[in-house]
Homo-oligomer: A and B are copies of this chain.
């Protein structure tokens, strides 16, 4: 602490593609974590269901879901009557037939989840020290059913 420059603090940035790769990776990680946290908060505060899928710059998939991604997807595909639904019902019938889709989703999900839960713990440890009234401290793990935090 020898008269150190006390950092410029957070600087304003333009919302446009970050060119420097290393910087982009850092920003991606930080913001992805922040986004998932916000989603988790919204879900808890309002008791609503949310699913989110993010592909990293390296095309790795990160997902978050309350209660879990596949159920939300399924509901979105089959249950949600679109704004101007008219001849939709028949289509929906067809979709129920294709519930193979859902089962595969679940498998994908479960595999993701396995790794995710390990990383969840890691994540809690990382950011956890400063957590007091933080979301994650209050949420049962189930609420973060699929959260991929490595990378």
Contact = CB atoms under 8 A, between A and B. Distances in A.
A27 B55 contact: no
Contacts of A51: 52-53
Interface in A80-139: 80, 82-85, 88, 91-92, 94-95, 97-98, 100-101, 104-105, 107-108, 111-112, 114-115, 133-135, 138-139
Interface of A: 12-18, 24, 27-28, 31-32, 34-35, 38-39, 41-42, 44-57, 61, 63, 69, 72-73, 75-77, 80, 82-85, 88, 91-92, 94-95, 97-98, 100-101, 104-105, 107-108, 111-112, 114-115, 133-135, 138-139
A31 to B, nearest CB: 5
Copies of this chain in its oligomeric complex: 2
Contacts of A32: 42
A61 B80 contact: yes
A38 B31 contact: yes
